Amino acid sequence: MSDFRALTLKHLRAHEATVRLGGVTAAARELLVTPPAITAQLKSLENLVGAPLYDRSAEGFTPTLVGQAILDTSYDIERLLALTQDKIDALRSGASGVVIFAAVSTAKYITPSIVAAFQNAHNGISVKLIIGNRREIMRGLESNEYDILLMGRPPEHPPIEAQVLCDHPHIVITAPGHNLASRKHLTPSDLSGERFLSREQGSGTRLLMEKFLARVSARQTLDVIEMGTNETIKQAVMAGLGIAFLSAHTCVSELRDGRLHALRVTGLPLVRQWQLIHRSDRDLSPAARMFSEFVLTNRARLIPNPVS
């Protein structure tokens, strides 16, 4: 069994830099030490772990499965150190509290106004907003990095407390000139044969889209193109590449300005809820509790209804 009591940040940073930069010399240059010092750290780390960390080749240092596990730990520790520094900086600046508020990427269209309203009302509390995809946010939740989170589909673990913040409608959007845009009454089957632009597998929007599209055709193979962000999807829809099933909160301005069109489809909008959550096995700080209560109390004015 490995004994990590002697593990240091120097070990982890030497390992991370060597993998990222592809070699000992480059890692030494970035960390302002000599190449032998990096080599010594890597050898010491392999001895601690009791297994090889790399597959060495002409392409550089490729981490083994063990090496990748150590690399993931390094990322987690560096992220926690950065959050700790943020808290210390806020306290030094005279803030009476710090709240780490995280949200899935779809919520980035509503979270800035939430944070701004709270900061205006409570300028003695510093709020750090973190946006990431569901996988990244879940990883942070599991490692206790956040105080409060905003997401649509609460996880099964770790244990959490969730409160409904507001409705979260989902719609199908097209370019204004699309052949379906002029039709006032559509059924899900009318979407059969269309190309759908979608987020990655595992995202909340993707899961909801697949459930809705199962009503279009249970047997027909759907034409789906994956794209990395909602912004890319919207631009592709405007360019005529396809249509998309998206959160209405992500395209308020484009719908208002006429750059996108929401189809009138039976069964839409499909309404879910945004949920404000925190870990139930961890007590909220006074600042985090104040933030949560503020958001829930003022939700009607903080979050507009995008399909009203």
Check whether 93 has a pLDDT greater than 70.
no
Residue 143 inside a domain? The answer is yes
Residue 210 inside a domain? The answer is yes
β-bridge mates for residue 9, sequence order = none
Task: Report, as an integer, the average pLDDT of 6-25.
Answer: 92
Q: Is 223 exposed, middle or buried (0-12, 13-18, 19+ CB in 10 A)?
A: exposed
Q: Which of 49, 83, 78, 44 is nearest to 66 (CA)?
A: 49
Residue 183: pLDDT band with limits 50, 70, 90: very high
Residues 265 and 131 in one domain: no
Residues 195 and 118 in one domain: no
Residues 188 and 210 in one domain: yes
Check residue 240 and give its pLDDT: 95
What tens digit of pLDDT does each residue of 282-305 get?
888 888 999 999 999 999 999 887
Residue 183 inside a domain? The answer is yes
Residues 158 and 138 in one domain: yes
Residues 110 and 231 in one domain: no
Query: Total domain count for the chain?
Result: 3
Q: What are phi and psi of 2, to 5 degrees?
A: -70, 145
Separation of alpha carbons 98 and 90, rounded Å: 7
Residues 251 and 177 in one domain: yes
Check whether 122 has a pLDDT greater than 70.
yes
Check residue 91 and give its pLDDT: 66
Check whether 10 has a pLDDT greater than 60.
yes
- Last residue of one domain, picked from the residues 12, 40, 73: 73
Residue 85 inside a domain? The answer is no
Residue 126 inside a domain? The answer is yes
Check whether 251 has a pLDDT greater than 60.
yes
Check residue 192 and give its pLDDT: 85
Residue 83 inside a domain? The answer is no
Average per-residue pLDDT for the chain: 89
Residues 255 and 189 in one domain: yes
Check whether 89 has a pLDDT greater than 90.
no
What tens digit of pLDDT does each residue of 32-82 get?
999 999 999 999 999 999 999 988 776 677 899 999 999 999 988 988 888
Check residue 286 and give its pLDDT: 86
* CATH number for position 33: 1.10.10.10
Residues 137 and 173 in one domain: no
Residues 203 and 284 in one domain: no
Residues 252 and 133 in one domain: no
Give alpha helix (H) positions in 93-176.
Answer: 111-121, 134-142
Percent of the chain with pLDDT over 90: 63
Check residue 58 and give its pLDDT: 65
* CATH number for position 133: 3.40.190.10
Residue 277 inside a domain? The answer is yes
Percent of the chain with pLDDT over 70: 94
Q: What are phi and psi of 75, to 5 degrees?
A: -60, -45
**Domain boundaries, position 200:** 167-272
Check whether 220 has a pLDDT greater than 70.
no
Rg of the chain taking only CA atoms, in angstroms: 24
Residue 145's H or E segment, with its range, is none
What tens digit of pLDDT does each residue of 136-158 get?
999 999 999 999 999 998 888 89
Residues 176 and 268 in one domain: yes
Q: Residues, the chain, total?
A: 308
Check residue 94 and give its pLDDT: 54
Residues 118 and 214 in one domain: no
- Last residue of one domain, picked from the residues 12, 44, 73: 73
Residue 131 inside a domain? The answer is yes
